[in-house]
């Protein structure tokens, strides 16, 4: 009767490991890891760590490639059969391993079947009884999977063993099983599938069993029934997939079908300590992979490691590639359920399976159902239809608005101004925030004026009355003219907006408002001495003279009046609102319709419709008259101010009675009379007798300087 015992792990090796762990704790912060060069397959069997292929059962360190197996888990890979047979892994020297499960902590092996047969030649019973010894190894016979199985018609077999050396020293173990059947009526007493004592018997084994041997009772033999059942069989085997056949008791089918061997299952465990104790020893603790957990062995001392729920891999390896990795459950729908109507979403350590939009229920193991009643669906469809119509209508309106904007841009001379690149072209959305009632600051013949901020600068936006501006290229030319006027006494044009029916102009903002308001607004009347009035007149004349003296073109204002003379914080005047001016070639006269303020209008222009530089001179004469008298020029009362002033000056050669009492100081009367004389010349009905704006500007500059002396 052969015995196959594994040698114990060499004491020297254990001593060496403990010394190294104590000497180099930083290098041994976890269980030693195998080399990547280790053999991980023998024939068709995978050999996962802590198992490994070694040279011999006593050499768990493997070959020169490095550590390949934990102590006690070394397997040999042997070639079996002749003429190039296949390789197979073996434990304990000669026990073939057919599979390893890390998760269950089990190894499936093949065990020799013991037999007790009648020899027809010698007419004696011959026994072939086997044993297995795994004492001192990490293996224990699985008490949940294996059963001691006896087959025969007149058989009593015993299983003898030691149920472990841990605890109080261990107890001897012995059990048996009887298989009987009537020899003269085998065919009627035996039945397939049943293993309850008739032809087949099975009995359980205790926990912690590492060694057993089989023994047949000689009092039960097949001598008398050898012609029906010649042999009896006994083996410790995996009973989970075993099904009894009547031929097993009446023929060699049982031993022949399995090649003389039967599969059995060994539970295995790491060490002989519980998880709580092992965790406190990081040098030897085997559950080294992230997302791994420790479980105490259910069949003796020690523990096994498993990946945490939602992870798979080898919990005994630190390598992230081969250790515990997240399971993508969504790629394994046959294993991880996500019913129709569910949307699988992988996450670390698990997965979610929410129902799709409009569905409710439990997609994991359940069903997603439509929770919208018919009435709700009708309502949603109705609202959706209305919303769709609103969106379509909005898009149509948006398209029309865009088309309308493009038409306005073209009508207002946009293409011409884009080519000229003289000023900035603003979008209507940029000016829209400014065109509020709270920003309104005035209204004139051109339209409404609003104050606002653009590009961090104060600006005045002029919104014209529809139809008050010229169209297309004519307007574009006027804008180009204004953009070319750069003078300290002329309001600068910053840009315009052409995306509206009546284009808007953007000017620099002048803080003190118009000269007209300062002179005539009784609620906000500002004191102006003669020096200030002369300065306003001189600088205003200088701005108009600049416009008249352009080299290639003459720019006519056409609407000179106190309302179009703006004053800044220092009361420096700036001419504004010459948008009705016309482009006049140097060698031609330009005829235009009568446009402007009749209170300041040249009578010659009013009668003949011919606008010239002298028309601006006449209007400026009225401005001078308002400056020295602080009275309004009113066309409605037949130009009473202008006519009375001219008559008084013609008769008396002076018009002292028209001087504003605020500046009619004796010492300044001579300057005032000179100023009045300039006004008289500007107001001459004989156009040729009127001075040019350049001459007016020079004379006013001289008067202004003399006033300061």
Tokens of 520: 């005539």
Write the burial class of residue 370 (CB in 10 Å: 0-12 exposed, 13-18 middle, 19+ buried): middle
What tens digit of pLDDT does each residue of 551-599 get? 667 788 888 999 999 999 999 999 988 754 443 333 334 444 566 788 8
Number of independent structural domains in the chain: 4
Kindly state the average pLDDT of the residues 144-164: 90
Out of 559, 577, 597, 616, the active site residue is 559
Q: At 587, which CATH number?
A: 1.10.510.10
Q: Are residues 528 and 464 in the same domain?
A: no
Q: Which of 4, 67, 58 is nearest to 35 (CA)?
A: 67
123 occurs within a structural domain: yes
- 352 belongs to the catalytic site: no
Q: Are residues 161 and 206 in the same domain?
A: yes
Say which range, 13-27, 116-130, 167-181, 359-373, has the weakest mean pLDDT. 13-27
Write the burial class of residue 305 (CB in 10 Å: 0-12 exposed, 13-18 middle, 19+ buried): buried
Q: Are residues 499 and 453 in the same domain?
A: yes
366 occurs within a structural domain: no
Which range among 53-67, 288-302, 520-534 has the greatest average pLDDT?
288-302
Last residue in a domain, options 236, 268, 300: 268
- Cβ atoms of 228 and 186 closer than 8 Å: yes
Sheet with 200-203, edge to edge strand ranges? 124-128, 114-119, 231-238, 146-151, 200-203
297 occurs within a structural domain: no
Q: How far is CA 421 from the centre of its chain?
A: 42
- Cβ atoms of 509 and 450 closer than 8 Å: no
Give the residue numbers spanning the domain of 46.
Answer: 1-101
Please state the φ and ψ torsions of residue 245, each to the nearest 5 degrees.
-120, 140
Q: Are residues 646 and 661 in the same domain?
A: yes
Quote the mean pLDDT of the chain. 84
What tens digit of pLDDT does each residue of 378-416 get? 888 899 889 999 998 888 888 887 877 777 777 676 666
314 occurs within a structural domain: no
487: pLDDT strictly greater than 70: yes
Q: Are residues 80 and 114 in the same domain?
A: no
Q: Are residues 95 and 133 in the same domain?
A: no
Q: Residues for the chain: how many in total?
A: 709
Confidence band for 208, pLDDT divided at 50, 70 and 90: very high
Query: Would you state the pLDDT for residue 709?
Result: 63
d(CA 66, CA 36): 9
Which residues define the annotated binding site? 463
Which residues define the annotated binding site for ATP? 463
Tokens of 254: 């049982």
Q: Are residues 559 and 597 in the same domain?
A: yes
Return the percentage of the chain with pLDDT > 70, whole number.
83
346 occurs within a structural domain: no
Asked if omega into 50 is within 30° of 0 (cis), the reply is yes
What is the CB-side half-sphere exposure of residue 154 using CA atoms within 13 A? 20
Q: Are residues 212 and 170 in the same domain?
A: yes
Last residue in a domain, options 70, 101, 132: 101
Confidence band for 484, pLDDT divided at 50, 70 and 90: confident
Q: Pairing between strand 504-508 and 493-497? A: antiparallel
Exposure string over 165-188, b if 16+ CB within 10 A, otherwise e: eeeeeeeebeebbebbbebeebee
- The dihedral over CA atoms of 143, 145, 150, 151, expressed in degrees to the nearest 10, equals 180
Last residue in a domain, options 268, 299, 328: 268
Please list the alpha-helical segments (H only) found in 284-373.
Answer: none
Say which range, 82-91, 261-270, 503-512, has the weakest mean pLDDT. 82-91
Place of tokens 């008791």: 249
Kindly state the average pLDDT of the residues 1-9: 36
Asked if omega into 407 is within 30° of 0 (cis), the reply is no
154: pLDDT strictly greater than 70: yes
Q: Are residues 630 and 646 in the same domain?
A: yes
The DSSP symbol for 296 reads E
Q: Are residues 679 and 577 in the same domain?
A: yes
166 occurs within a structural domain: yes
Tell me the pTM: 0.51
- Cβ atoms of 122 and 130 closer than 8 Å: no
Q: Are residues 156 and 83 in the same domain?
A: no
Return the percentage of the chain with pLDDT > 90, whole number.
51
- The sign of the torsion formed by the CA atoms of 187, 193, 197, 199 equals positive
Q: At 456, which CATH number?
A: 3.30.200.20
Q: Are residues 89 and 121 in the same domain?
A: no
Confidence band for 184, pLDDT divided at 50, 70 and 90: low
263 occurs within a structural domain: yes
In three-state form (DSSP H/G/I as H, E/B as E, the rest C), the secondary structure along 490-538 is ECCEEEEECCCCCCEEEEECCCCCEHHHHHHCHHHCCCCCHHHHHHHHH
Query: Would you state the pLDDT for residue 611?
Result: 87
Longest Cα separation, the chain: 177
Strand-pair partners of 438: none
């Amino acid at each position: 009767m052969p015995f196959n015992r594994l040698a114990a792990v060499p004491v020297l090796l254990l001593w060496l490991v403990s010394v190294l762990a104590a000497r180099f704790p930083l290098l041994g912060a976890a269980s030693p890891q195998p080399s990547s060069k280790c053999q991980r397959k023998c024939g068709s069997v995978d050999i996962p760590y802590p198992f490994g292929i070694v040279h011999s059962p006593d050499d768990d360190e493997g070959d020169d490639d490095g550590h390949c197996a934990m102590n006690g888990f070394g397997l040999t890979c042997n070639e079996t059969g002749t003429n190039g047979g296949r390789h197979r892994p073996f434990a304990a020297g000669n026990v073939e391993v057919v599979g390893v499960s890390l998760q269950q902590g089990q190894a499936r092996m093949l065990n020799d079947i013991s037999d007790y047969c009648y020899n027809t030649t010698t007419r004696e019973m011959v026994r072939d009884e086997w044993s297995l010894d795994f004492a001192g190894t990490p293996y224990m016979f699985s008490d949940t999977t294996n059963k001691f199985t006896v087959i025969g018609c007149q058989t009593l077999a015993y299983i003898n063993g030691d149920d472990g050396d841990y605890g109080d020293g261990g107890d001897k173990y012995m059990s048996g099983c009887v298989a009987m059947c009537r020899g003269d009526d085998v065919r009627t007493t035996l039945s397939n599938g049943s293993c309850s004592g008739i032809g087949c018997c099975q009995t359980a084994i205790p926990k912690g069993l590492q060694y057993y041997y089989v023994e047949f009772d000689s009092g039960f033999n097949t001598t008398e029934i050898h012609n029906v059942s010649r042999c009896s069989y006994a083996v410790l085997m995996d009973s989970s997939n075993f099904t009894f056949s009547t031929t097993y008791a009446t023929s060699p089918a049982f031993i022949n079908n399995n090649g003389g061997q039967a599969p059995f299952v060994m539970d295995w465990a790491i060490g002989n300590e519980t998880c709580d104790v092992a965790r406190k020893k990081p040098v030897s603790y085997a559950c080294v992979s992230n997302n791994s957990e420790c479980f105490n062995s259910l069949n003796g001392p020690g523990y096994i490691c498993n990946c945490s729920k939602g992870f798979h891999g080898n919990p005994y390896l630190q390598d992230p590639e081969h250790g515990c990795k997240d399971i993508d459950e969504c790629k394994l729908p046959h294993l991880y359920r996500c019913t129709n109507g569910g949307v699988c979403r992988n996450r670390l350590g698990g997965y979610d399976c929410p129902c799709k939009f409009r569905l409710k229920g439990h997609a994991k193991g359940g069903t997603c159902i439509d929770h919208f009643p018919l009435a709700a669906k009708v309502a949603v469809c109705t609202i959706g239809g209305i919303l769709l119509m609103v969106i379509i209508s909005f898009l149509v309106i948006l398209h029309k608005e865009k088309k309308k904007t493009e038409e306005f841009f073209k009508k207002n001379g946009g293409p011409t101004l884009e080519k000229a690149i003289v000023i900035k072209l603003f979008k209507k959305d940029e000016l829209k925030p400014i065109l509020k009632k709270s920003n309104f600051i005035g209204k004139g013949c051109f339209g409404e004026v609003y104050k606002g901020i653009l590009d961090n600068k104060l600006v005045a936006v002029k919104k014209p009355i529809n139809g008050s501006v010229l169209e297309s290229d004519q307007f574009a030319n006027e804008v180009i003219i204004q953009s070319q006027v750069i003078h300290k006494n002329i309001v600068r044009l910053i840009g315009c907006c052409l995306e509206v029916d009546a284009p808007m102009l953007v000017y620099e903002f002048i803080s003190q408002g118009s000269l007209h308001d300062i002179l005539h607004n009784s609620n906000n009347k500002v004191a102006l001495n003669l020096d200030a009035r002369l300065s306003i007149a001189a600088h205003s004349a200088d701005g108009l003279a600049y416009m008249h003296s352009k080299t290639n073109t003459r720019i006519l204002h056409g609407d000179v009046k106190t309302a179009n003379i703006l004053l800044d914080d220092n009361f420096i005047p700036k001419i504004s609102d010459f948008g009705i001016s016309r482009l006049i070639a140097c060698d031609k006269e330009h005829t235009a319709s009568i446009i402007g303020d009749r209170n300041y209008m040249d009578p010659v222009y009013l009668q003949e419709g011919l606008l010239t530089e002298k028309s601006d001179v006449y209007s400026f004469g009225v401005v001078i008259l308002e400056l020295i008298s602080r009275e309004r020029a009113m066309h409605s009362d037949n130009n009473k101010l202008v006519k009375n002033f001219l008559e008084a000056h013609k008769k008396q050669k002076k018009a002292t009675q028209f001087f504003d009492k605020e500046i009619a100081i004796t010492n300044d009367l001579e300057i005032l009379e000179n100023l009045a004389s300039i006004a008289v010349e500007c107001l001459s009905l004989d156009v040729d007798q009127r001075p040019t704006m350049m001459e007016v500007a020079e004379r006013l500059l001289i008067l202004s300087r003399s006033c300061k002396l």
